[in-house]
Structure 1
Protein backbone atom coordinates (compact mmCIF):
# COMPACT_ATOMS: atom_id res chain seq x y z
CA UNK A 1 0.00 0.00 0.00
CA UNK A 2 2.90 2.37 0.73
CA UNK A 3 4.34 1.85 -2.75
CA UNK A 4 0.90 2.33 -4.35
CA UNK A 5 0.30 5.61 -2.51
CA UNK A 6 3.74 6.91 -3.47
CA UNK A 7 3.15 5.90 -7.09
CA UNK A 8 -0.21 7.69 -7.32
CA UNK A 9 1.19 10.75 -5.54
CA UNK A 10 4.05 10.87 -8.04
CA UNK A 11 1.44 11.03 -10.81
CA UNK A 12 -1.16 13.36 -9.30
CA UNK A 13 1.12 16.11 -7.98
CA UNK A 14 2.96 16.70 -11.30
CA UNK A 15 -0.40 16.50 -13.11
CA UNK A 16 -1.78 19.34 -10.98
CA UNK A 17 1.37 21.41 -11.43
CA UNK A 18 1.29 20.78 -15.20
CA UNK A 19 -2.34 21.86 -15.32
CA UNK A 20 -1.51 25.06 -13.45
CA UNK A 21 1.33 25.82 -15.86
CA UNK A 22 -1.09 25.32 -18.77
CA UNK A 23 -3.66 27.57 -17.12
CA UNK A 24 -1.08 30.29 -16.56
CA UNK A 25 -0.90 30.76 -20.33
CA UNK A 26 -4.46 32.15 -20.26
CA UNK A 27 -3.56 34.97 -17.88
CA UNK A 28 -5.20 35.96 -14.58
CA UNK A 29 -8.71 34.82 -15.61
CA UNK A 30 -7.58 31.24 -14.85
CA UNK A 31 -10.31 29.30 -16.74
CA UNK A 32 -8.77 25.88 -16.08
CA UNK A 33 -8.58 26.58 -12.36
CA UNK A 34 -12.21 27.74 -12.40
CA UNK A 35 -13.44 24.52 -14.01
CA UNK A 36 -11.27 22.42 -11.70
CA UNK A 37 -12.44 24.26 -8.57
CA UNK A 38 -16.10 23.91 -9.54
CA UNK A 39 -15.66 20.19 -10.27
CA UNK A 40 -13.90 19.65 -6.93
CA UNK A 41 -16.61 21.62 -5.11
CA UNK A 42 -19.39 19.53 -6.68
CA UNK A 43 -17.73 16.17 -6.02
CA UNK A 44 -16.57 17.06 -2.49
CA UNK A 45 -20.02 18.36 -1.57
CA UNK A 46 -21.63 15.16 -2.80
CA UNK A 47 -19.21 13.06 -0.74
CA UNK A 48 -19.79 15.19 2.36
CA UNK A 49 -23.57 14.92 2.02
CA UNK A 50 -23.25 11.17 1.58
CA UNK A 51 -21.14 11.01 4.76
CA UNK A 52 -23.66 13.00 6.76
CA UNK A 53 -26.73 11.02 5.71
CA UNK A 54 -26.87 9.18 9.02
CA UNK A 55 -28.85 9.28 12.26
CA UNK A 56 -31.25 12.23 11.97
CA UNK A 57 -29.26 14.06 9.27
CA UNK A 58 -31.05 14.32 5.92
CA UNK A 59 -29.15 16.90 3.87
CA UNK A 60 -30.31 17.51 0.30
CA UNK A 61 -27.41 16.95 -2.09
CA UNK A 62 -28.94 19.02 -4.90
CA UNK A 63 -29.12 22.35 -3.09
CA UNK A 64 -25.88 21.76 -1.21
CA UNK A 65 -23.93 21.12 -4.41
CA UNK A 66 -25.53 24.12 -6.10
CA UNK A 67 -24.69 26.42 -3.17
CA UNK A 68 -21.09 25.20 -2.89
CA UNK A 69 -20.55 25.65 -6.63
CA UNK A 70 -22.00 29.18 -6.52
CA UNK A 71 -19.73 30.14 -3.62
CA UNK A 72 -16.64 28.87 -5.46
CA UNK A 73 -17.62 30.31 -8.85
CA UNK A 74 -18.14 33.75 -7.26
CA UNK A 75 -14.35 34.15 -7.11
CA UNK A 76 -14.34 34.59 -10.89
CA UNK A 77 -17.19 37.11 -11.22
CA UNK A 78 -15.04 40.21 -11.56
CA UNK A 79 -12.23 38.41 -13.35
CA UNK A 80 -14.55 37.22 -16.13
CA UNK A 81 -16.69 40.34 -16.33
CA UNK A 82 -14.02 42.43 -18.02
CA UNK A 83 -13.08 44.33 -14.85
CA UNK A 84 -9.91 42.43 -13.99
CA UNK A 85 -7.95 45.66 -13.50
CA UNK A 86 -10.37 46.79 -10.81
CA UNK A 87 -10.65 43.40 -9.10
CA UNK A 88 -9.88 43.71 -5.37
CA UNK A 89 -6.65 42.32 -4.02
CA UNK A 90 -5.62 40.85 -0.68
CA UNK A 91 -8.34 40.05 1.83
CA UNK A 92 -10.79 42.21 -0.11
CA UNK A 93 -10.75 39.63 -2.92
CA UNK A 94 -12.71 37.28 -0.66
CA UNK A 95 -15.73 39.59 -0.73
CA UNK A 96 -17.60 37.98 -3.65
CA UNK A 97 -17.40 34.45 -2.23
CA UNK A 98 -18.53 35.66 1.21
CA UNK A 99 -21.48 37.45 -0.41
CA UNK A 100 -22.29 34.26 -2.31
CA UNK A 101 -22.10 32.27 0.92
CA UNK A 102 -24.55 34.72 2.52
CA UNK A 103 -27.01 34.19 -0.33
CA UNK A 104 -26.46 30.42 -0.09
CA UNK A 105 -27.23 30.55 3.63
CA UNK A 106 -30.52 32.33 2.93
CA UNK A 107 -31.36 29.74 0.27
CA UNK A 108 -30.62 26.85 2.64
CA UNK A 109 -32.87 28.30 5.33
CA UNK A 110 -35.68 28.89 2.82
CA UNK A 111 -35.32 25.36 1.49
CA UNK A 112 -35.49 23.96 5.03
CA UNK A 113 -38.62 25.98 5.74
CA UNK A 114 -40.36 24.83 2.56
CA UNK A 115 -39.67 21.14 3.15
CA UNK A 116 -40.61 21.19 6.84
CA UNK A 117 -43.23 18.61 7.73
CA UNK A 118 -42.83 17.70 11.39
CA UNK A 119 -40.39 18.16 14.29
CA UNK A 120 -37.44 15.84 14.42
CA UNK A 121 -34.60 16.51 12.01
CA UNK A 122 -34.93 19.92 10.31
CA UNK A 123 -32.19 21.61 12.33
CA UNK A 124 -29.85 18.64 12.07
CA UNK A 125 -30.27 18.48 8.29
CA UNK A 126 -29.92 22.25 7.89
CA UNK A 127 -26.80 22.22 10.06
CA UNK A 128 -25.28 19.47 7.91
CA UNK A 129 -26.03 21.48 4.76
CA UNK A 130 -24.53 24.71 6.11
CA UNK A 131 -21.46 22.83 7.37
CA UNK A 132 -20.91 21.26 3.96
CA UNK A 133 -21.21 24.53 2.02
CA UNK A 134 -18.88 26.27 4.49
CA UNK A 135 -16.32 23.45 4.68
CA UNK A 136 -16.17 22.89 0.93
CA UNK A 137 -17.25 26.22 -0.54
CA UNK A 138 -15.49 28.71 1.73
CA UNK A 139 -12.27 26.75 2.28
CA UNK A 140 -11.95 25.91 -1.41
CA UNK A 141 -12.60 29.56 -2.32
CA UNK A 142 -9.84 30.86 -0.04
CA UNK A 143 -7.53 28.18 -1.42
CA UNK A 144 -8.30 29.23 -5.01
CA UNK A 145 -7.57 32.86 -4.09
CA UNK A 146 -3.90 31.90 -3.75
CA UNK A 147 -3.90 32.23 -7.55
CA UNK A 148 -4.01 36.02 -7.15
CA UNK A 149 -2.68 36.72 -3.65
CA UNK A 150 0.83 37.62 -4.88
CA UNK A 151 -0.18 39.07 -8.25
CA UNK A 152 -0.90 37.49 -11.60
CA UNK A 153 2.68 36.39 -12.34
CA UNK A 154 3.28 34.64 -9.01
CA UNK A 155 -0.15 33.04 -8.83
CA UNK A 156 0.86 29.47 -9.49
CA UNK A 157 4.01 29.79 -7.44
CA UNK A 158 1.68 30.47 -4.51
CA UNK A 159 -0.90 27.81 -5.34
CA UNK A 160 1.79 25.26 -6.12
CA UNK A 161 3.53 25.97 -2.83
CA UNK A 162 0.40 24.92 -0.94
CA UNK A 163 -0.02 21.67 -2.88
CA UNK A 164 3.66 20.73 -2.76
CA UNK A 165 4.02 21.44 0.97
CA UNK A 166 0.81 19.78 2.17
CA UNK A 167 0.92 16.69 -0.05
CA UNK A 168 4.64 16.19 0.61
CA UNK A 169 3.73 16.43 4.28
CA UNK A 170 1.09 13.75 3.73
CA UNK A 171 3.63 11.52 1.97
CA UNK A 172 6.21 12.09 4.70
CA UNK A 173 3.66 11.34 7.40
CA UNK A 174 2.47 8.14 5.75
CA UNK A 175 6.00 6.93 4.96
CA UNK A 176 7.58 7.49 8.38
CA UNK A 177 4.40 6.38 10.11
CA UNK A 178 4.41 3.06 8.29
CA UNK A 179 8.13 2.50 8.74
CA UNK A 180 8.69 3.74 12.29
CA UNK A 181 5.31 4.55 13.79
CA UNK A 182 4.65 2.99 17.18
CA UNK A 183 3.29 5.71 19.46
CA UNK A 184 -0.25 6.67 18.45
CA UNK A 185 -1.24 10.33 18.43
CA UNK A 186 -5.02 10.16 18.86
CA UNK A 187 -5.98 6.48 18.57
CA UNK A 188 -9.68 7.05 19.22
CA UNK A 189 -9.95 9.54 16.38
CA UNK A 190 -7.38 8.28 13.87
CA UNK A 191 -5.73 4.95 14.76
CA UNK A 192 -3.25 5.23 11.91
CA UNK A 193 -1.73 8.55 12.98
CA UNK A 194 1.56 8.25 14.91
CA UNK A 195 4.11 10.68 16.29
CA UNK A 196 6.66 9.37 13.81
CA UNK A 197 4.21 10.27 11.06
CA UNK A 198 3.84 13.77 12.51
CA UNK A 199 7.60 14.27 12.35
CA UNK A 200 7.51 12.96 8.79
CA UNK A 201 4.86 15.52 7.88
CA UNK A 202 6.98 18.39 9.18
CA UNK A 203 10.19 17.14 7.54
CA UNK A 204 8.53 16.32 4.22
CA UNK A 205 6.65 19.61 3.98
CA UNK A 206 9.64 21.72 5.03
CA UNK A 207 12.04 20.07 2.58
CA UNK A 208 9.58 20.10 -0.31
CA UNK A 209 8.69 23.75 0.32
CA UNK A 210 12.36 24.75 0.22
CA UNK A 211 12.84 22.84 -3.03
CA UNK A 212 9.71 24.35 -4.59
CA UNK A 213 10.60 27.95 -3.84
CA UNK A 214 14.25 27.43 -4.78
CA UNK A 215 13.70 25.81 -8.19
CA UNK A 216 10.18 26.84 -9.21
CA UNK A 217 10.55 30.60 -8.65
CA UNK A 218 13.08 31.25 -11.48
CA UNK A 219 11.19 28.84 -13.76
CA UNK A 220 7.72 30.32 -13.24
CA UNK A 221 8.86 33.95 -12.93
CA UNK A 222 11.98 34.39 -15.07
CA UNK A 223 14.45 36.95 -13.82
CA UNK A 224 13.47 36.69 -10.16
CA UNK A 225 15.28 35.11 -7.25
CA UNK A 226 13.67 32.72 -4.76
CA UNK A 227 12.82 33.89 -1.27
CA UNK A 228 15.26 33.35 1.59
CA UNK A 229 15.52 29.66 2.59
CA UNK A 230 14.30 30.27 6.15
CA UNK A 231 10.99 31.67 4.91
CA UNK A 232 10.46 28.77 2.52
CA UNK A 233 11.20 26.22 5.24
CA UNK A 234 9.03 28.04 7.78
CA UNK A 235 6.16 28.08 5.27
CA UNK A 236 6.50 24.34 4.71
CA UNK A 237 6.81 23.45 8.39
CA UNK A 238 3.70 25.43 9.30
CA UNK A 239 1.69 23.86 6.49
CA UNK A 240 2.98 20.41 7.41
CA UNK A 241 1.52 20.82 10.90
CA UNK A 242 -1.70 22.45 9.69
CA UNK A 243 -2.19 19.83 6.98
CA UNK A 244 -1.88 17.10 9.59
CA UNK A 245 -4.56 18.83 11.67
CA UNK A 246 -6.77 19.03 8.58
CA UNK A 247 -6.42 15.29 8.09
CA UNK A 248 -7.44 14.73 11.71
CA UNK A 249 -10.43 17.05 11.35
CA UNK A 250 -11.75 15.11 8.37
CA UNK A 251 -11.19 11.94 10.41
CA UNK A 252 -13.47 13.48 13.04
CA UNK A 253 -16.29 13.61 10.49
CA UNK A 254 -15.71 10.10 9.21
CA UNK A 255 -15.30 8.47 12.62
CA UNK A 256 -18.39 10.15 14.00
CA UNK A 257 -20.53 8.75 11.18
CA UNK A 258 -18.81 5.36 11.20
CA UNK A 259 -17.03 5.57 7.82
CA UNK A 260 -13.41 4.87 6.88
CA UNK A 261 -13.32 6.90 3.65
CA UNK A 262 -15.46 9.67 2.20
CA UNK A 263 -15.96 7.55 -0.95
CA UNK A 264 -14.51 4.60 -2.85
CA UNK A 265 -12.74 6.36 -5.71
CA UNK A 266 -9.00 5.69 -5.60
CA UNK A 267 -7.57 2.64 -3.79
CA UNK A 268 -5.37 3.75 -0.91
CA UNK A 269 -6.71 7.30 -0.96
CA UNK A 270 -10.50 7.10 -0.71
CA UNK A 271 -12.56 9.90 -2.20
CA UNK A 272 -11.83 13.44 -3.38
CA UNK A 273 -12.54 14.77 0.10
CA UNK A 274 -9.90 12.42 1.51
CA UNK A 275 -7.36 13.78 -0.97
CA UNK A 276 -8.25 17.42 -0.37
CA UNK A 277 -8.58 17.32 3.44
CA UNK A 278 -5.11 18.69 4.22
CA UNK A 279 -5.22 21.18 1.32
CA UNK A 280 -8.60 22.60 2.29
CA UNK A 281 -7.59 23.06 5.91
CA UNK A 282 -4.16 24.49 5.08
CA UNK A 283 -5.37 26.76 2.26
CA UNK A 284 -6.47 29.70 4.45
CA UNK A 285 -3.26 29.44 6.49
CA UNK A 286 -1.18 29.47 3.31
CA UNK A 287 -3.12 32.54 2.16
CA UNK A 288 -2.31 34.35 5.41
CA UNK A 289 1.37 33.35 5.20
CA UNK A 290 1.60 34.71 1.66
CA UNK A 291 0.21 38.00 2.94
CA UNK A 292 2.63 38.18 5.87
CA UNK A 293 5.89 36.56 4.72
CA UNK A 294 8.28 37.68 1.93
CA UNK A 295 7.68 34.57 -0.18
CA UNK A 296 7.19 35.98 -3.67
CA UNK A 297 8.65 38.67 -5.89
Structure 2
Protein backbone atom coordinates (compact mmCIF):
# COMPACT_ATOMS: atom_id res chain seq x y z
CA UNK A 1 0.00 0.00 0.00
CA UNK A 2 2.88 2.37 0.78
CA UNK A 3 4.34 1.75 -2.68
CA UNK A 4 0.97 2.51 -4.26
CA UNK A 5 0.65 5.76 -2.31
CA UNK A 6 4.15 6.82 -3.40
CA UNK A 7 3.38 5.98 -7.03
CA UNK A 8 0.15 7.99 -7.03
CA UNK A 9 1.90 10.90 -5.28
CA UNK A 10 4.63 10.83 -7.93
CA UNK A 11 1.89 11.45 -10.51
CA UNK A 12 -0.35 13.87 -8.63
CA UNK A 13 2.31 16.27 -7.34
CA UNK A 14 3.96 16.97 -10.73
CA UNK A 15 0.48 17.24 -12.28
CA UNK A 16 -0.53 19.86 -9.72
CA UNK A 17 2.72 21.78 -10.20
CA UNK A 18 2.17 21.68 -13.96
CA UNK A 19 -1.37 23.05 -13.69
CA UNK A 20 -0.23 25.91 -11.47
CA UNK A 21 2.66 26.68 -13.84
CA UNK A 22 0.24 26.86 -16.77
CA UNK A 23 -2.08 29.04 -14.72
CA UNK A 24 0.74 31.43 -13.86
CA UNK A 25 1.60 31.80 -17.53
CA UNK A 26 -2.07 32.36 -18.43
CA UNK A 27 -2.19 35.59 -16.43
CA UNK A 28 -4.45 37.08 -13.79
CA UNK A 29 -7.66 35.49 -15.09
CA UNK A 30 -6.35 32.18 -13.68
CA UNK A 31 -8.27 29.84 -16.03
CA UNK A 32 -6.34 26.72 -15.06
CA UNK A 33 -6.88 27.31 -11.36
CA UNK A 34 -10.58 27.84 -12.09
CA UNK A 35 -10.75 24.52 -13.96
CA UNK A 36 -8.98 22.76 -11.10
CA UNK A 37 -11.29 24.38 -8.53
CA UNK A 38 -14.39 23.37 -10.49
CA UNK A 39 -13.11 19.80 -10.71
CA UNK A 40 -12.42 19.73 -6.97
CA UNK A 41 -15.83 21.26 -6.34
CA UNK A 42 -17.67 18.59 -8.32
CA UNK A 43 -15.80 15.68 -6.74
CA UNK A 44 -16.00 17.00 -3.17
CA UNK A 45 -19.73 17.73 -3.60
CA UNK A 46 -20.33 14.19 -4.78
CA UNK A 47 -18.45 12.80 -1.79
CA UNK A 48 -20.25 15.06 0.67
CA UNK A 49 -23.76 14.33 -0.63
CA UNK A 50 -22.88 10.64 -0.62
CA UNK A 51 -21.75 10.90 3.02
CA UNK A 52 -24.86 12.83 4.08
CA UNK A 53 -27.35 10.51 2.38
CA UNK A 54 -28.37 8.74 5.57
CA UNK A 55 -31.21 8.68 8.08
CA UNK A 56 -33.67 11.42 7.05
CA UNK A 57 -31.19 13.33 4.89
CA UNK A 58 -31.54 13.05 1.11
CA UNK A 59 -29.41 15.86 -0.32
CA UNK A 60 -29.61 16.34 -4.08
CA UNK A 61 -26.24 16.16 -5.79
CA UNK A 62 -27.47 18.24 -8.74
CA UNK A 63 -28.82 21.05 -6.58
CA UNK A 64 -25.75 21.00 -4.32
CA UNK A 65 -23.25 21.00 -7.18
CA UNK A 66 -25.16 23.84 -8.86
CA UNK A 67 -24.63 25.91 -5.73
CA UNK A 68 -20.97 24.97 -5.38
CA UNK A 69 -20.10 25.68 -9.03
CA UNK A 70 -22.09 28.93 -8.96
CA UNK A 71 -20.13 30.16 -5.94
CA UNK A 72 -16.79 29.29 -7.56
CA UNK A 73 -17.57 30.87 -10.93
CA UNK A 74 -19.00 33.99 -9.24
CA UNK A 75 -15.74 34.42 -7.32
CA UNK A 76 -13.77 34.33 -10.59
CA UNK A 77 -16.26 36.49 -12.49
CA UNK A 78 -16.22 39.21 -9.87
CA UNK A 79 -12.43 39.09 -9.60
CA UNK A 80 -11.96 39.97 -13.27
CA UNK A 81 -14.22 42.73 -14.58
CA UNK A 82 -13.59 45.29 -17.26
CA UNK A 83 -9.95 44.31 -17.66
CA UNK A 84 -8.99 45.16 -14.09
CA UNK A 85 -8.83 43.13 -10.91
CA UNK A 86 -11.70 43.92 -8.55
CA UNK A 87 -11.15 44.33 -4.82
CA UNK A 88 -11.61 41.69 -2.16
CA UNK A 89 -14.85 43.22 -0.88
CA UNK A 90 -16.47 42.81 -4.30
CA UNK A 91 -15.40 39.18 -4.41
CA UNK A 92 -16.78 38.45 -0.93
CA UNK A 93 -20.03 40.16 -1.90
CA UNK A 94 -20.29 38.00 -5.03
CA UNK A 95 -19.64 34.84 -3.00
CA UNK A 96 -22.24 35.88 -0.43
CA UNK A 97 -24.91 36.75 -3.00
CA UNK A 98 -24.34 33.52 -4.93
CA UNK A 99 -24.60 31.53 -1.70
CA UNK A 100 -27.91 33.29 -1.09
CA UNK A 101 -29.03 32.23 -4.58
CA UNK A 102 -28.15 28.63 -3.72
CA UNK A 103 -30.20 29.02 -0.52
CA UNK A 104 -33.24 30.05 -2.58
CA UNK A 105 -32.75 27.23 -5.08
CA UNK A 106 -32.51 24.62 -2.32
CA UNK A 107 -35.68 25.92 -0.69
CA UNK A 108 -37.62 25.99 -3.96
CA UNK A 109 -36.50 22.44 -4.75
CA UNK A 110 -37.68 21.33 -1.33
CA UNK A 111 -41.06 22.99 -1.82
CA UNK A 112 -41.57 21.42 -5.25
CA UNK A 113 -40.65 17.93 -4.08
CA UNK A 114 -42.47 18.02 -0.74
CA UNK A 115 -44.98 15.22 -0.30
CA UNK A 116 -44.93 14.33 3.41
CA UNK A 117 -43.11 15.41 6.58
CA UNK A 118 -39.83 13.83 7.56
CA UNK A 119 -36.96 14.61 5.18
CA UNK A 120 -37.32 18.05 3.61
CA UNK A 121 -35.64 20.24 6.25
CA UNK A 122 -32.92 17.68 6.92
CA UNK A 123 -32.12 17.44 3.21
CA UNK A 124 -32.20 21.22 2.84
CA UNK A 125 -29.71 21.59 5.69
CA UNK A 126 -27.41 18.98 4.13
CA UNK A 127 -27.47 20.78 0.76
CA UNK A 128 -26.71 24.19 2.26
CA UNK A 129 -23.95 22.68 4.37
CA UNK A 130 -22.43 21.12 1.24
CA UNK A 131 -22.49 24.47 -0.60
CA UNK A 132 -20.72 26.16 2.31
CA UNK A 133 -18.14 23.41 2.87
CA UNK A 134 -17.31 22.52 -0.73
CA UNK A 135 -18.01 25.88 -2.38
CA UNK A 136 -17.53 28.83 -0.05
CA UNK A 137 -14.40 27.54 1.72
CA UNK A 138 -12.76 26.64 -1.60
CA UNK A 139 -13.74 29.93 -3.27
CA UNK A 140 -12.29 32.01 -0.44
CA UNK A 141 -9.12 29.92 -0.29
CA UNK A 142 -8.57 30.42 -4.04
CA UNK A 143 -8.51 34.20 -3.53
CA UNK A 144 -4.94 33.86 -2.30
CA UNK A 145 -4.06 33.61 -6.00
CA UNK A 146 -4.56 37.40 -6.33
CA UNK A 147 -2.70 38.61 -3.26
CA UNK A 148 -0.66 41.74 -4.02
CA UNK A 149 -2.18 41.88 -7.49
CA UNK A 150 -1.14 38.29 -8.15
CA UNK A 151 2.56 38.83 -7.40
CA UNK A 152 2.40 36.80 -4.21
CA UNK A 153 -0.22 34.35 -5.49
CA UNK A 154 1.46 30.98 -5.67
CA UNK A 155 3.95 31.81 -2.96
CA UNK A 156 1.02 32.43 -0.61
CA UNK A 157 -0.96 29.39 -1.78
CA UNK A 158 2.17 27.30 -1.35
CA UNK A 159 2.58 28.51 2.23
CA UNK A 160 -0.96 27.34 2.98
CA UNK A 161 -0.54 23.89 1.42
CA UNK A 162 2.92 23.32 2.90
CA UNK A 163 1.86 24.42 6.40
CA UNK A 164 -1.33 22.35 6.37
CA UNK A 165 0.29 19.21 4.96
CA UNK A 166 3.42 19.46 7.10
CA UNK A 167 1.04 19.73 10.03
CA UNK A 168 -0.69 16.54 8.88
CA UNK A 169 2.67 14.77 8.51
CA UNK A 170 3.99 16.02 11.86
CA UNK A 171 0.79 15.01 13.62
CA UNK A 172 0.84 11.53 12.09
CA UNK A 173 4.56 11.00 12.82
CA UNK A 174 4.64 12.09 16.46
CA UNK A 175 1.28 10.47 17.07
CA UNK A 176 2.56 7.10 15.85
CA UNK A 177 5.86 7.40 17.72
CA UNK A 178 4.76 8.86 21.05
CA UNK A 179 0.98 8.97 21.05
CA UNK A 180 -0.59 7.47 24.16
CA UNK A 181 -3.16 9.92 25.47
CA UNK A 182 -6.16 10.15 23.17
CA UNK A 183 -7.25 13.67 22.28
CA UNK A 184 -10.80 13.01 21.06
CA UNK A 185 -11.44 9.24 21.09
CA UNK A 186 -15.16 9.69 20.43
CA UNK A 187 -14.42 11.52 17.17
CA UNK A 188 -11.05 10.30 15.93
CA UNK A 189 -9.48 7.43 17.93
CA UNK A 190 -6.16 7.90 16.15
CA UNK A 191 -5.69 11.50 17.31
CA UNK A 192 -3.41 11.92 20.32
CA UNK A 193 -1.98 14.87 22.22
CA UNK A 194 1.47 13.94 20.92
CA UNK A 195 -0.01 14.19 17.42
CA UNK A 196 -1.42 17.62 18.32
CA UNK A 197 2.07 18.82 19.25
CA UNK A 198 3.45 17.25 16.07
CA UNK A 199 0.87 19.06 13.93
CA UNK A 200 1.79 22.42 15.45
CA UNK A 201 5.54 21.87 15.15
CA UNK A 202 5.29 20.41 11.64
CA UNK A 203 3.23 23.32 10.35
CA UNK A 204 5.55 25.89 11.93
CA UNK A 205 8.64 24.19 10.50
CA UNK A 206 7.06 23.82 7.07
CA UNK A 207 6.10 27.51 7.01
CA UNK A 208 9.60 28.62 7.94
CA UNK A 209 11.23 26.38 5.34
CA UNK A 210 8.83 27.55 2.62
CA UNK A 211 9.27 31.25 3.34
CA UNK A 212 13.03 30.97 3.83
CA UNK A 213 13.99 28.81 0.86
CA UNK A 214 11.13 28.62 -1.66
CA UNK A 215 9.59 32.08 -1.74
CA UNK A 216 12.83 33.98 -2.58
CA UNK A 217 13.01 31.86 -5.76
CA UNK A 218 9.36 32.46 -6.61
CA UNK A 219 9.13 36.18 -5.80
CA UNK A 220 12.34 38.01 -6.78
CA UNK A 221 13.58 40.30 -4.03
CA UNK A 222 11.20 38.90 -1.42
CA UNK A 223 12.35 38.21 2.12
CA UNK A 224 10.63 37.05 5.28
CA UNK A 225 9.02 40.04 6.93
CA UNK A 226 9.37 38.66 10.43
CA UNK A 227 10.39 35.19 11.61
CA UNK A 228 7.98 35.37 14.55
CA UNK A 229 5.15 36.17 12.13
CA UNK A 230 6.07 33.19 9.94
CA UNK A 231 6.16 30.81 12.90
CA UNK A 232 2.91 32.18 14.31
CA UNK A 233 1.32 31.66 10.90
CA UNK A 234 2.45 28.04 10.90
CA UNK A 235 1.29 27.40 14.45
CA UNK A 236 -2.12 28.90 13.68
CA UNK A 237 -2.59 26.93 10.47
CA UNK A 238 -1.41 23.75 12.16
CA UNK A 239 -4.07 24.22 14.84
CA UNK A 240 -6.84 25.19 12.40
CA UNK A 241 -5.93 22.32 10.07
CA UNK A 242 -6.19 19.88 12.96
CA UNK A 243 -9.59 21.32 13.85
CA UNK A 244 -10.64 20.83 10.22
CA UNK A 245 -9.54 17.20 10.38
CA UNK A 246 -11.56 16.68 13.56
CA UNK A 247 -14.59 18.40 12.04
CA UNK A 248 -14.53 16.07 9.06
CA UNK A 249 -14.22 13.18 11.51
CA UNK A 250 -17.36 14.52 13.19
CA UNK A 251 -19.24 14.31 9.88
CA UNK A 252 -18.06 10.75 9.22
CA UNK A 253 -18.72 9.52 12.77
CA UNK A 254 -22.20 11.01 12.83
CA UNK A 255 -23.18 9.30 9.58
CA UNK A 256 -21.46 6.05 10.53
CA UNK A 257 -18.73 6.10 7.87
CA UNK A 258 -14.98 5.60 8.26
CA UNK A 259 -13.95 7.56 5.15
CA UNK A 260 -15.42 9.43 2.23
CA UNK A 261 -15.63 7.52 -1.06
CA UNK A 262 -12.07 6.59 -2.05
CA UNK A 263 -10.46 8.78 -4.70
CA UNK A 264 -7.47 6.44 -5.11
CA UNK A 265 -6.66 3.21 -3.27
CA UNK A 266 -4.86 4.05 -0.05
CA UNK A 267 -5.77 7.75 -0.18
CA UNK A 268 -9.35 7.87 1.07
CA UNK A 269 -11.62 10.49 -0.41
CA UNK A 270 -10.83 13.95 -1.72
CA UNK A 271 -12.46 15.39 1.39
CA UNK A 272 -9.95 13.43 3.49
CA UNK A 273 -7.12 15.09 1.56
CA UNK A 274 -8.55 18.61 1.56
CA UNK A 275 -10.04 18.96 5.05
CA UNK A 276 -7.07 20.74 6.69
CA UNK A 277 -6.43 22.94 3.63
CA UNK A 278 -10.09 23.99 3.27
CA UNK A 279 -10.41 24.95 6.92
CA UNK A 280 -7.08 26.76 7.06
CA UNK A 281 -7.48 28.50 3.68
CA UNK A 282 -9.66 31.46 4.72
CA UNK A 283 -7.46 32.03 7.79
CA UNK A 284 -4.34 32.02 5.61
CA UNK A 285 -5.93 34.51 3.18
CA UNK A 286 -6.84 36.88 6.02
CA UNK A 287 -3.36 36.51 7.54
CA UNK A 288 -1.57 37.31 4.28
CA UNK A 289 -3.91 40.26 3.71
CA UNK A 290 -3.29 41.76 7.15
CA UNK A 291 0.25 40.61 8.01
CA UNK A 292 2.08 39.29 4.89
CA UNK A 293 4.83 36.78 5.50
CA UNK A 294 7.14 38.54 3.03
CA UNK A 295 8.15 42.08 2.18
- Superposition pairs for residues 234-253 of structure 1, below 5 Å? 234-253=232-251
Q: Which structure 2 segments of 5+ residues have no match?
A: none
Asked whether 1:143 is paired with 2:141, we answer: yes
Counterpart contact for 1:214–1:227, Cα < 8 Å = no
Name the Cα RMSD after superposition: 1.9
**2-structure distance, mates of 1:18, 1:36:** 12
CA deviation vs aligned residue, 1:90-139 (integer Å, no higher than 9, x gap): x4432211111111111111111111111111100111111111111111
- 1:116 is matched with which residue? 114
Q: CA deviation at 1:21?
A: 3.0
Counterpart contact for 1:150–1:290, Cα < 8 Å = no
Q: CA deviation at 1:197?
A: 1.0
Q: CA deviation at 1:228?
A: 2.3
- 1:51 is matched with which residue? 51
**2-structure distance, mates of 1:142, 1:286:** 10
Is the deviation greater in 20-29 or in 198-207? 20-29
**2-structure distance, mates of 1:3, 1:215:** 29
- Superposition pairs for residues 61-210 of structure 1, below 5 Å? 61-81=61-81, 83-89=82-88, 91-210=89-208
Q: CA deviation at 1:80?
A: 4.9
Asked whether 1:27 is paired with 2:24, we answer: no
SS of alignment partner, residue 55 of structure 1: coil
- Taking a change above 3 Å as real, the CA distance of residues 267 and 208 of structure 1, as seen in their structure-2 partners, is same
Asked whether 1:266 is paired with 2:231, we answer: no
**1-structure distance, mates of 2:19, 2:268:** 22
Counterpart contact for 2:78–2:91, Cα < 8 Å = no
- 1:289 is matched with which residue? 287
**1-structure distance, mates of 2:212, 2:40:** 29
CA deviation vs aligned residue, 1:3-60 (integer Å, no higher than 9, x gap): 8667766764564344323311111111111001111111101100000100000111
**2-structure distance, mates of 1:21, 1:235:** 25
- Taking a change above 3 Å as real, the CA distance of residues 30 and 266 of structure 1, as seen in their structure-2 partners, is same
**2-structure distance, mates of 1:228, 1:13:** 29
- 2:214 is matched with which residue? 216
Q: CA deviation at 1:152?
A: 1.0
Q: CA deviation at 1:265?
A: 1.9
So what's the TM-score if we normalise by structure 1? Answer: 0.93
**1-structure distance, mates of 2:213, 2:23:** 20
Q: How many residues align?
A: 295
- Taking a change above 3 Å as real, the CA distance of residues 200 and 6 of structure 1, as seen in their structure-2 partners, is farther
**1-structure distance, mates of 2:182, 2:14:** 32
**1-structure distance, mates of 2:223, 2:294:** 9
So what's the TM-score if we normalise by structure 2? Answer: 0.94
**2-structure distance, mates of 1:226, 1:116:** 57
Q: CA deviation at 1:164?
A: 0.7
